[in-house]
């Protein structure tokens, strides 16, 4: 009952052009049926994500570990709440990040869990920068 | 099932069969001669009611499956096709959907009856455990069935429940992938759920056979909780139990029919009339009512894995009941303390169910934790303790002695106290919720011609509504589930077949490809559906500032608002289900030029009093004098809103008039049947009491 060949083939890597996303904006693309949030973070958001003491987080991880070096403004996360799989809403909640409407989990501007029942940070999908304004997810 | 039968057929053909397969002897010994305790009360008829419900669900389900398409792109549409086009499809679907709820209601009563009268105690442990297995299978079947219509609640319910398994350490993710058959809930998930939803009811039927077998080996428990010893203690199954069960079933059918014919959407969720959308989570994911207590337990535990374990343990703990409660007295009738705690336990379960439907915040979380503790404490602390410290009252010597003594009058004040307590507790909870509901203004309740048990659509209003749709709404909103032929259907807007055909020919319908391989346009035919204003979703979004104008076919069923406690209980009796029309009407009139002070509306949005969040992308669609009516009705926004809402109520449920008409006939029949069964039962039992 595992995924069949066509489902696996449809899950091949995709390329996303980042050029049209202005600072402070974000887009949602689908990869393997999962929504992927790509956020062009503002300076303020990056600072907020980096100023919080890592040890105080429920799932400690630095912001640097969640973005690609030299592309600090781009946050790419799978938009699926780690609690029970709902889709969090971007730019909501108390941490300038994501808010899950189902059970009230709140994520910060780095997609890390800050409050609520979710046990882990929003997952970062495998991706790399093909050029400065293009990424390949998968 | 109770030893070799002494049944001897006289007919030679039957004799011939009986010698080779003693099936009639089996039926005779199990359901005719089988001795049942003579003091059984009506709580014991729920076993028969459950057997009937299983039969109803399998029968309606098999026919529904003949018309249903288990494909992610077509499932939602095929369910609408069943309701709109299949002969009596609306009846099949309402029966199957409400039937699931009735099945669970009956099983909960059946289980609580077992709990109260100690029906799980020696020698009925296996019987009880088989029952717990049936209940687990029912939960799985019910859940997968709810996914099949592929609405928003189906999809997100499936997502949330399958994700429960991701809490399993190490194997979690693989288990979830295996359940999905992909990387997320999607078409493969729907396909396998359909397959399993078709399979499991037959597994249930198999376990039910074992359950009945075990029952007939141990014999039925009874309100006195003493075993039958002499022939005086029992009566033969037929006619005594048969007629009593038939009467019980008939009463239950009356209750069931109320939902099928008058409140088909009372137990459902409006969001499930919105097709599944993997990109948008509904604000409030709520499972069906029968899972709510367990959902509340899941959410009250702050740790994900622990929450999942707690939820499953809440069910599994039932299987250990025979060894947790070691009291020798079976029936709580003779256990003064156990009886009181039983009722407290019932209240705990009801309150947990209430909390399961509330948003997980503030007071609800704390209350959920306290009640979760109470739930487990009842089984793990209280019952073992009670069996040690409680002094039970003396039980009757025999069932016959119990029947003669007519004890039981003492239970009445107890029950009324409990009901008073429940109402008081509910009111308290309700006032809390009402206080919260103040933030959003609820639409005013209007008078609708189609409301109530004898409601009919106002034909004039529908025709005006169609005109408003054609001249205004259709610029952006599709109406894809309505064909031109429907306009001439009985119980519809009252056009003739010719008028419907003429109306269809005004439209250009894209058809093809032709022999040259090209698409072409032709005039519409009655069988065509109303064409959509945009070729696809993306085009619709692009033309409307990113917002998708929803299809209007189902809009009056897909929108709702909280009625709150206790109003939703009164709604059951008054058959109030006009939240959708009230909302649509209010929304159309709820636009205001200037938002109230303190409210800012983003660029490109408009302020609407009744829209959740108040910022709607649709500009004020209607203004006075915009559409002229031929029948002289006032050309006002209020009139337009009312007419178009009436029309859209018809598009959402074209067979509503048939539903209410058949409902009346069914009720007349059932009431007469119930009365006849009651008097027959009295006559049959006259010499047994």
Kindly report the CATH number assigned to the domain that includes residue A74.
2.102.10.10
Kindly report the nearest CA distance between residue A31 and chain B, in angstroms.
9
Q: What is the pLDDT of residues B193-216, one digit of tens each?
A: 999 999 999 999 999 999 999 999
What count of Cα atoms within 13 Å lies in the side-chain half-sphere of residue B367? 23
What parts of chain A have a pLDDT lower than 50? none
CB neighbours of residue B123 within 10 Å: 12
Placement of tokens 């979710």 in the chain: A118
pLDDT at B58: 97
Cβ contact, residue pair A104, B360, below 8 Å: yes
The residue range of the domain holding A132 is 16-137
Q: Is the pLDDT of residue B63 over 80?
A: yes
Q: Which whole number is the average pLDDT over B150-170?
A: 90
Flag whether A8 is in a domain.
no
**How many contacts does A have with B, using Cβ atoms within 8 A?**
79
Burial class from Cβ neighbours inside 10 Å (0-12, 13-18, 19+) for residue A88 reads buried
Which secondary-structure segment (H or E) carries B673?
A: helix B656-685
Q: What is the pLDDT of residues B586-606, one digit of tens each?
A: 999 999 888 888 777 777 788
φ, ψ for residue B600, nearest 5 deg: -110, 140
Higher pLDDT, B677 or B287: B677
Dist. CA B622–CA B626, nearest whole Å: 7
Residue A29 DSSP class:
E
What count of Cα atoms within 13 Å lies in the side-chain half-sphere of residue B504? 23
Q: Is the pLDDT of residue B279 over 90?
A: no
Flag whether A9 is in a domain.
no
Q: Which residues contact B424 (CB under 8 A, 6 or more apart)?
A: none
**Chain A residues 101-130 with a CB less than 8 Å from chain B:** 101-104, 117-119
Q: Residue B602 has which token pair?
A: 């983003």
**Chain A residues 28-87 with a CB less than 8 Å from chain B:** 28, 30, 32-35, 83-87
Higher pLDDT, B186 or B279: B186
Of the pLDDT bands very low, low, confident and very high (cuts 50, 70, 90), residue B496 is: very high
Q: Which of B75, B102, B431 is nearest to B288 (CA)?
A: B102
A91 in reach of chain B (CB within 8 A): no
B421 in reach of chain A (CB within 8 A): no
Flag whether A10 is in a domain.
no
Flag whether A3 is in a domain.
no
Q: Which of B34, B35, B2 is nearest to B400 (CA)?
A: B35
pLDDT, mean over chain B: 90
Interface test with B, best of A14, A117, A118, A120 (most B CBs within 10 A): A117
Residue B18 · residue B25 · CB < 8 Å: yes
Q: Nearest by CB to A1, which of B178, B305, B359?
A: B178
Dist. CA B480–CA B379, nearest whole Å: 53
Residue B457 · residue B646 · CB < 8 Å: yes
Alpha helices, DSSP H only, in B122-180?
A: 125-147, 152-163, 172-180
Residue B483 DSSP class:
B
Dist. CA A99–CA A87, nearest whole Å: 9
Q: Is the pLDDT of residue B437 over 50?
A: no
pTM over 0.80: yes
Q: What is the pLDDT of residues B618-666, one digit of tens each?
A: 999 999 999 999 898 999 999 999 999 999 999 999 999 999 999 999 9
A121-130, B282-291, B323-332, B415-424: the lowest-pLDDT one = B415-424
Of the pLDDT bands very low, low, confident and very high (cuts 50, 70, 90), residue B689 is: low
Q: Taking CA atoms, what residue in A is nearest to B305? A: A119
Residue B659 · residue B490 · CB < 8 Å: no
Higher pLDDT, B577 or B415: B577
Overall number of domains in chain A: 1
φ, ψ for residue B598, nearest 5 deg: 95, -10
ipTM exceeds 0.85, yes or no: no
Which residues from A are below 8 Å from B278, CB to CB?
Answer: 30, 33, 35
Percent of chain B surpassing pLDDT 90: 70
Flag whether A55 is in a domain.
yes
pLDDT at A103: 73
pLDDT at B73: 94
């Amino acid at each position: 009952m595992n995924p069949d060949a066509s489902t696996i083939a449809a899950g091949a890597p995709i390329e996303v052009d980042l050029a049209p996303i202005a600072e402070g904006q974000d887009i949602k693309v689908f990869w393997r049926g999962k929504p992927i949030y790509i956020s062009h973070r503002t300076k303020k958001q990056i600072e907020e994500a980096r100023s919080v003491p890592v040890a105080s987080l429920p799932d400690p991880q630095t912001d640097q570990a969640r973005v690609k070096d030299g592309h600090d403004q781009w946050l790419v996360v799978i938009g699926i709440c780690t609690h029970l799989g709902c889709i969090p809403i971007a730019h909501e909640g108390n941490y300038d990040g994501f808010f899950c409407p189902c059970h009230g989990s709140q994520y910060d501007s780095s997609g890390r869990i800050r409050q609520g029942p979710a046990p882990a940070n929003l997952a970062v999908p495998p991706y790399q920068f093909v050029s400065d304004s293009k990424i390949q997810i998968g | 099932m109770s030893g070799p039968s002494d049944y001897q057929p006289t007919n030679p053909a039957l004799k011939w069969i009986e010698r080779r397969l003693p099936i009639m002897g089996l039926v005779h010994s199990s359901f005719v001669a089988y001795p049942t305790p003579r003091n059984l009360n009506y709580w014991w008829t729920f076993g028969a009611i459950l057997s009937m419900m299983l039969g109803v669900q399998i029968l309606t389900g098999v026919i529904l499956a003949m018309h249903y398409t288990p494909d992610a792109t077509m499932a939602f549409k095929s369910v609408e096709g069943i309701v709109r086009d299949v002969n009596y499809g609306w009846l099949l679907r309402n029966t199957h959907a409400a039937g699931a709820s009735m099945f669970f209601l009956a099983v909960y009563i059946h289980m609580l009856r077992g709990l109260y009268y100690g029906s799980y105690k020696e020698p009925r442990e296996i019987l009880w455990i088989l029952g717990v297995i049936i209940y687990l299978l029912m939960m799985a079947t019910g859940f997968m069935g709810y996914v099949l219509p592929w609405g928003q609640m189906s999809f997100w319910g499936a997502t949330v429940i399958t994700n429960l398994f991701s809490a399993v350490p190490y194997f979690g993710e693989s288990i979830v992938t295996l359940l999905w058959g992909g990387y997320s809930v999607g078409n493969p998930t729907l396909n396998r759920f359909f397959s399993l939803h078709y399979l499991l009811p037959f597994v249930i039927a198999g376990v039910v056979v074992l359950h009945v077998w075990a029952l007939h080996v141990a014999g039925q428990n009874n309100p006195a909780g003493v075993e039958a010893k002499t022939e005086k203690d029992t009566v033969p199954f037929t006619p005594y139990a048969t007629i009593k069960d038939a009467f019980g079933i008939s009463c239950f059918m009356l209750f069931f029919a109320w939902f099928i014919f008058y409140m088909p959407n009372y137990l459902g969720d409006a969001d499930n009339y919105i097709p599944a959308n993997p990109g948008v989570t509904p604000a409030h994911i709520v499972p069906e009512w029968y899972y709510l207590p367990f959902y509340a337990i899941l959410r009250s535990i702050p740790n994900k894995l622990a929450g999942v374990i707690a939820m499953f343990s809440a069910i599994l703990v039932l299987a250990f009941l025979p060894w947790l409660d070691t009291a020798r007295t079976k029936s709580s009738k003779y256990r003064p303390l156990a009886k009181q705690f039983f009722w407290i336990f019932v209240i705990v379960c009801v309150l947990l169910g209430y909390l399961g439907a509330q948003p997980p915040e503030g007071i609800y979380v704390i209350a959920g934790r306290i009640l979760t503790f109470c739930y487990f404490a009842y089984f793990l602390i209280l019952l073992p303790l009670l069996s040690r410290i409680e002094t039970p009252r003396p039980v009757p010597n025999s069932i016959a002695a119990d029947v003669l003594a007519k004890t039981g009058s003492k239970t009445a004040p107890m029950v009324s106290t409990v009901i008073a307590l429940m109402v008081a507790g509910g009111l308290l909870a309700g006032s809390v919720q009402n206080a919260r509901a103040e933030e959003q203004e609820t639409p005013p309740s209007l008078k609708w011609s189609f409301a109530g048990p004898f409601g009919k659509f106002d034909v004039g209003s529908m025709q005006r509504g169609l005109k408003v749709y054609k001249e205004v709404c259709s610029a952006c909103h599709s109406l894809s589930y309505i064909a031109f032929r429907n306009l001439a259907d009985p119980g519809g807007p009252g056009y003739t077949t010719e008028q419907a055909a003429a109306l269809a020919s005004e439209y250009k319908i894209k058809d093809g490809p032709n022999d040259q391989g090209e698409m072409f346009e032709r005039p519409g035919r009655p069988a065509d559906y109303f064409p959509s204003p945009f070729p696809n979703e993306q085009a619709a979004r692009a033309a409307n500032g990113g917002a998708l104008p929803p299809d209007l076919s189902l809009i009056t069923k897909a929108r709702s608002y909280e009625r709150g406690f206790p109003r939703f209980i009164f709604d059951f009796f008054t058959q109030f289900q006009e939240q959708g029309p009230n909302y649509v009407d209010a929304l159309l009139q709820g636009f205001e030029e200037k938002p109230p002070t303190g409210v800012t509306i983003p660029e490109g949005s408009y302020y609407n009093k009744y829209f959740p969040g108040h910022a709607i992308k649709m500009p004020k669609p209607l203004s006075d004098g915009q559409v002229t009516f031929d029948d002289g009705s006032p050309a006002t926004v209020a009139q337009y809103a009312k007419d178009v809402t009436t029309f859209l109520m018809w598009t959402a449920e074209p067979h509503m008039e048939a539903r209410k008409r058949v409902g009346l006939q069914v009720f007349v029949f059932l009431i007469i049947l119930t009365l006849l069964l009651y008097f027959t039962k009295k006559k049959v039992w006259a010499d047994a009491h």
